[in-house]
Copies of this chain bind each other. A is one copy, B any other.
């Protein structure tokens, strides 16, 4: 500890910057699929475990019938990766779970691993993202990287889904309405609830009812009261403390209950209101009066009937937080390179064919400032340049291609975990900045990509060189049938 301090307050003993662990302490290296461990053993047994592998994390289809996705969950992934280390208890459990034939040396190996030799490039959290373009590129020893697969997918899939759902709600509601996330009670488990609050906020919600999410992330809290509160009162007679101070404290109404009753009588007698207050329920009046006495400067009452009134705030629960319309995003994690050899996953379903190689990804912007197309290139190709014409090809459809002269070129993935390289590490921004990024990126999009009905797909492409390479590899890998 002394040695660590000597290195400065922001570094650990091993010189890596200090990043706190995941928000949920249940996110450990065991929050993973069992097969990651059987594979890790098999790699180790075959002495392949340190082979350098590159994996792409991406999704194949935008959710909710839309044409965009908000990428979220990155901060939790980096916090997980930065603190990835097995405890003795965890290793004991893995040993007890694997077959007895597994050799002891494997557990010594597990004891030693961390992510110091893993490198993570990612799209910044809160970005607008599209199918096939990697959100994360994870490079490192194959056994270690595969152990990260399941927790990373878990941390990103739901986060991105809820952020996207929230952004879609915001798009429909418009900028001026207040959007409140009220879904904790119906969320899929405790941290389904906490995640929903955090990621709805990123997607453009203004506040949450979830107190713990407020505490953890600084999200504004909102709430009124429930019907139980109303029905817990019998009549105004039971209100004992009746005095109400004015806002500035300069005067006091000694009997606010009588004042409310007096006003009710006046209103009842008013002909212009057609006697609609004649049925006022005394227990409801008592509840509202009491609530007003408790919150003299911030009275907000729950009134179930809203016909005709203008709505300026929406509290949304179940449909937002469980993503009722589509409860899962299908991010996948695919091997694209091992030992500098490209790998491709073939499939009879062309949408499931993976795009091989370690890649760089760019967003090309047009004259009007809109993003025009995302393009993936091989790692060592010259990147697209402003004002230079570049051919963008559909990765699988030969005839779909377009020339683009970008007015701005944005590299999409940045280094968020440099591992043992000396690359600079992108800082993890505060939640507010992630939310701002999301809102700004959405504003930049051309409106036809965003509309709810028949949105135009945003184009995702590969460079001419990468196109040729994909198809060379494809033909090389796919078996050639024999006609007899």
B31 touches A184 (CB 8 A): yes
**A225 on the B face (CB < 8 A):** yes
**A163 on the B face (CB < 8 A):** no
**Which of A122-130, A151-159, A389-397 participates in binding chain B?**
A151-159
**A150 on the B face (CB < 8 A):** yes
**A241 on the B face (CB < 8 A):** yes
* A48 CA / B90 CA spacing, docked (Å): 49
Chain B residues in 8 Å Cβ range of A142: 232
B182 touches A157 (CB 8 A): no
**A111 on the B face (CB < 8 A):** no
| Max chain B C-beta neighbours (<10 A), residue from A33, A101, A194, A343 | A33
Chain B residues in 8 Å Cβ range of A26: 23-26, 190-191, 194, 212
B338 touches A154 (CB 8 A): no
Contact of A186 among B38, B212, B328 (CB under 8 A): B328
Report the copy number of this chain in the oligomer.
Answer: 2
**A8 on the B face (CB < 8 A):** no
A99 touches B295 (CB 8 A): yes
B296 touches A191 (CB 8 A): no
Whether A190 contacts B31 in the complex (CB less than 8 A), given A51-B232, A294-B42, comes out as: yes
**Which of A216-224, A416-424, A448-456 participates in binding chain B?**
A216-224
* A209 CA / B97 CA spacing, docked (Å): 11
Closest to A289 in B: B46
A225 touches B38 (CB 8 A): yes
Contact of A34 among B222, B323, B479 (CB under 8 A): B222
Chain A interface, number of residues (Cβ within 8 angstroms): 116
Chain B residues in 8 Å Cβ range of A42: 225, 229, 290-291, 293-295
**A172 on the B face (CB < 8 A):** no
* A484 CA / B188 CA spacing, docked (Å): 51
Chain A residues 342-401 with CB under 8 Å of chain B are 343-345
A212 touches B327 (CB 8 A): no
**A250 on the B face (CB < 8 A):** no
Whether A221 contacts B34 in the complex (CB less than 8 A), given A142-B232, A158-B187, A191-B26, comes out as: yes
A154 touches B193 (CB 8 A): yes
* A208 CA / B324 CA spacing, docked (Å): 24
**Which of A13-21, A112-120, A273-281, A430-438 participates in binding chain B?**
A273-281
| Max chain B C-beta neighbours (<10 A), residue from A45, A149, A330 | A45
Closest to A89 in B: B215
Contact of A189 among B94, B195, B222 (CB under 8 A): B195
* A31 CA / B192 CA spacing, docked (Å): 11
**A47 on the B face (CB < 8 A):** yes
Contact of A214 among B97, B154, B481 (CB under 8 A): B97
Chain A residues 131-186 with CB under 8 Å of chain B are 142, 146, 149-151, 153-155, 157-159, 182, 184-186
A24 touches B186 (CB 8 A): no
Chain B residues in 8 Å Cβ range of A149: 185, 226
Closest to A42 in B: B294
Least Cβ–Cβ distance between A407 and chain B, in angstroms? 39
Whether A48 contacts B232 in the complex (CB less than 8 A), given A42-B225, A189-B189, comes out as: yes
Whether A297 contacts B99 in the complex (CB less than 8 A), given A28-B212, A188-B187, A328-B186, comes out as: yes
Least Cβ–Cβ distance between A346 and chain B, in angstroms? 10
**A439 on the B face (CB < 8 A):** no
Contact of A278 among B23, B97, B482 (CB under 8 A): B482
Chain A residues 23-82 with CB under 8 Å of chain B are 23-28, 30-39, 41-43, 45-48, 51, 53, 55
Listed by A's residue number, 24 A-B pairs whose Cβ atoms lie within 8 Å are A24-B26, A24-B190, A25-B25, A26-B194, A26-B212, A30-B215, A31-B184, A33-B184, A33-B209, A34-B208, A34-B222, A39-B225, A42-B294, A42-B295, A149-B226, A150-B184, A154-B189, A185-B331, A187-B188, A188-B192, A188-B327, A189-B189, A234-B341, A323-B327
Closest 4 CB pairs of A and B: A35-B223, A34-B223, A188-B188, A322-B327
